[in-house]
Structure 1
Amino acid sequence: MSAAESAVIQATADVDDRADIGERSRVWHLAQVREGARIGADCNIGRGAYIGPDVVLGDNCKLQNYALVYEPARLGNGVFIGPAAVLTNDEFPRAANPDGSLKSADDWHAVGVTIEDGASIGARAVCIAPVTIGAWALVAAGAVVTKDVPAHALVVGVPARRIGWVGRVGRPLVQDGDEWVCPQSGERYRQDGETLSLIG
């Protein structure tokens, strides 16, 4: 394992020697980080979390307790994954082939979830691969995401649907004429169809 001197890895964590842990990142009790995984700097990997082979996390990510991130997921910088959230990787899951034989790695093709910078996935939400969660989007707790989520979208439910927009601080935006505004930061956004862009 390649780990910076200042990374903190608890003795009960299972971190493969071929994983790469960034500077000042923390891997807590009973977390598992598989071979080839790359975790950026200043990340926090909670108790019992799972990071699959060759998964990539950017800097400043937080995986809360028991989050499951299956390969080949790609997470940008500043991504939040809530407790017990799941990023899947199998479009057609089966344990056995039609002839009854156990499926092997050669019997299926892993597909990944992509989460762009600053996006958040709520507790016990499930993202069904292959989907992309846009930058700064917010997936509500318990939602099941089955299609791509635009940047800044607030999605809820099963299946997840957009009910609004959120700004970079995570607060729902309020419509002000032709624009959307964050009540906390004052940032203003413009909507064009299903796309929201920061003004300025």
Structure 2
Amino acid sequence: MNGFTADSTAIIDSGAVVGDNTRIWQWVHVCAQARIGSDCSLGQNVFIGNRVVIGNNVKIQNNVSVYDNVTLEDDVFCGPSMVFTNVYNPRSHVSRKHEYRDTLVRRGATLGANCTIVCGVTIGEYAFVAAGAVVNRDVPGYALMAGVPARQIGWISQHGERLDLPLSGEGEARCPATAVRYLLRDGQVLSVRDDHGDPEGASEARQPGH
């Protein structure tokens, strides 16, 4: 393990893989089977379990535990004190380690402060989960989610700006910050590169989740 920086109070178990330019702050524990990419930031009091895969440029703020069977793709943001789970119906006196459910957070998604992600769901690319929300089902790419339980209240751009699109049907909108064009088709939002949008904020047209 070379090329990253870690505070002297951090515990990084032998066997863990940590990418270049990743910063690990105070009182972090990274377990032996964890895989962490480059250019990440792990805030104070973060726990990274075994069988956790974290991509590049992922930001995990203070007091977050990323448990076994959670995968965070590139550019994911985890707000302070947000919560992952890995067992759906835990009991202290019943061992359910064999029942861990996979949770996948796709590229560019934001998980707001104090939100909870119930295990077994997929958060689509560039989705935005508001602070304090409780997610208990799959979230489409670019969806803006809020509430308990979380429900979709809109769509959001890669830049983090709300898009003027209906929740269903078809529509077209531009990001207020970058002018990148977004299309809503069949319940999915696609970002489209064209001559009017900021090329740094756009991507090739693709379906969320691919």
Answer yes or no: same fold by TM over 0.5: yes
| Counterpart Cα distance in 2 of 1:71 and 1:178 | 39
Question: Cα deviation per residue 1:46-67 (whole Å; 9 max; x = unaligned)?
Answer: 0001111120000000000011
Question: Cα deviation per residue 1:3-60 (whole Å; 9 max; x = unaligned)?
Answer: 22x2001110111111111001011100111121000000000000111112000000
| Counterpart Cα distance in 2 of 1:140 and 1:150 | 14
Does structure 1 residue 42 correspond to structure 2 residue 35?
A: no
The two structures, once aligned, show a CA RMSD in angstroms of 1.5
Aligned position for 1:152: 142
Question: Cα deviation per residue 1:123-158 (whole Å; 9 max; x = unaligned)?
Answer: 011000100000000000000000000000000000
- Displacement, 1:183? 0.4
Query: Which secondary structure does the structure 1 equivalent of 2:99 belong to?
Result: coil
Aligned position for 1:116: 106
Aligned position for 1:161: 151
- Displacement, 1:175? 3.8
Q: TM-score, length-normalised on structure 2?
A: 0.87
Q: Which consecutive unaligned segments of at least 5 residues does structure 2 have?
A: 194-210
Which amino acid in 2 is paired with 1:54? Answer: R
- Displacement, 1:68? 1.4
Q: TM-score, length-normalised on structure 1?
A: 0.91
| Counterpart Cα distance in 2 of 1:145 and 1:175 | 22
Does structure 1 residue 128 correspond to structure 2 residue 111?
A: no
Q: Does structure 2 retain, via aligned residues, the 8 Å contact 1:70–1:112?
A: no
Misfit runs of 4+, over 6 Å? none
Aligned position for 1:179: 172
Does structure 1 residue 76 correspond to structure 2 residue 73?
A: yes
Aligned position for 2:53: 56
